[in-house]
Amino acid sequence: MVERELADLVENGPSEREMEVASGGFEGGTVLALEDAGSRMTQIATNLLVRDRVVSVPEYLERVRAVAADDVQRVLTKVVRGPQVRSIVEPR
C-alpha cells in the first residue's frame, strides 16, 4: 500500500489539497512548539547546529509556504528511486 502511494506521488506529485494540509501541519506544529520553552530551545539549537544561525519563525514559515508540489515530487523521486531499505516490526 505504501509503495503504491509513493509510486503515485512520484508519477503525479501531491495534489493541491495535500500541499495545503502538509503546509498547515508544519505551520501549526511550529506555532504550537513556540508555547513550550524546551521545544523553542531545541529549535534554536538545531538551527545553530545545522545552519550555523537561528532562522526566525516568520522566515521558516515563509520557506514552508514556498515549497511547491514539483519540489516535493522531485525530491521524492530521488528518494524512492534511490537504494531501497526494508524494515520489519515484529512482536517479541
What is the structure's pLDDT at 86? 82
Residue 88 lies in a domain: no
User: Cα(92)–Cα(55) distance, rounded to whole angstroms?
Assistant: 43
- Residue 21 pLDDT greater than 90, yes or no: yes
Residue 36 lies in a domain: yes
Range of the domain at 72: 2-80
Residue 69 lies in a domain: yes
Residue 32 lies in a domain: yes
Neighbours of 14 (CB within 10 A): 20
The structural domain count of the chain equals: 1
Residue 87 lies in a domain: no
Q: Does the predicted TM-score (pTM) go above 0.75?
A: no
What is the structure's pLDDT at 20? 95
What is the structure's pLDDT at 35? 86
What is the structure's pLDDT at 53? 95
Residue 50 lies in a domain: yes
Residue 14 lies in a domain: yes
Q: What is the CATH number of the domain that holds 36?
A: 3.30.830.10
Residue 75 lies in a domain: yes
What is the structure's pLDDT at 33? 84
CB environment 31-61: b (16+ within 10 A), e (fewer): eeeeeeeeeeeebeeeeeeeeeeebeeeeeb
Closest CA relative to residue 3, chosen from 17, 15, 55, 11: 11
Q: pLDDT tens digit string along 27-74?
A: 998 888 888 889 889 989 999 999 999 999 899 899 999 999 999 999
What is the structure's pLDDT at 92? 84
